[in-house]
Amino acid sequence: MAGYPNPMARYPLKDIDRLVFLKTVITNPLIEVGDYTYYDDPDGPENFEQENVLYHFPFIGDRLRIGKFCQIAARTKFVMNGGNHAQKGFTTFPFFIFGGEWAGRVEGETDHEVRGDTAIGNDVWMGYDSLIMPGVTIGDGVIIGSRSVVTKDVPPYSIVAGNPAEVVRRRFDDQTIEALLDIRWWDWDVETVTSHIPAILGADIEALKAI
């Protein structure tokens, strides 16, 4: 495609192999990634599934959904529900996984808390070494500070930071956020996005509302 990048190009930046459009390296059907979302990692972005999505066991069935136009910095990690242990007994040690006489001793021995799918909105910036915990929903337009640990849902167009991450501030006023969530520029065709980049980057909400 002339004039704008191909969302199915693995390496959209010429001669730079540390950044990929993430959907091109995803093979796991339980991971969904939108167009133009990129992952940048000097150690090899191709290994995202293995290195960045942790404890994602198919028998649990939880999904990781990442929207369009997200920016994912190096070492961002997603902890999935397979990282949880049962907590009802006096120990959290998973005896059953070692088999033999350690397995099948207790009814419900494999039961543990499952917090549901992890959902990342569109146009979300995840800073370096950020950590997203299971079952979290992160709204559109969120910025996550470097090395933040996100343990709960984040409202759209918020900036969060810290461990655990807390909202530092909203990026825009309520009226503007409501308009942006209604406009959903990330769902436009690429030609429309391309022609309105000045308004998007220039925060010209009236121009976007007029489209």
Q: Which pLDDT tens digit goes with each residue over 77-132?
A: 999 999 988 888 899 898 988 999 998 888 887 777 889 999 999 999 999 999 99
Using DSSP, state whether 101 is helix, strand or coil.
helix
* pLDDT at site 178: 98
Which entry of 56, 85, 112, 196 is annotated as an active-site residue? Answer: 85
Question: Half-sphere exposure of residue 66, counting CA atoms within 13 Å on the CB side?
Answer: 28
- Name the residue with tokens 């990929």: 20
Percent of the chain with pLDDT over 90: 85
Which residue would you say has higher pLDDT here, 103 or 181? 181
Which pair of tokens denotes residue 198?
């000045």
Band of residue 1 on the pLDDT scale cut at 50, 70, 90: very low
* pLDDT at site 96: 86
| 112 given a catalytic annotation | no
* pLDDT at site 2: 61
**Average confidence (pLDDT) over 140-151:** 98
Handedness of CA 155, 159, 164, 166 (dihedral sign): negative
Q: Confirm if 115 and 135 have CB atoms less than 8 A apart.
A: yes
Superfamily (CATH) of domain 19-171? Hexapeptide repeat proteins (2.160.10.10)
Task: Please state the domain extents for the chain.
Answer: 19-171, 174-211
Q: What pTM did the predictor assign?
A: 0.93
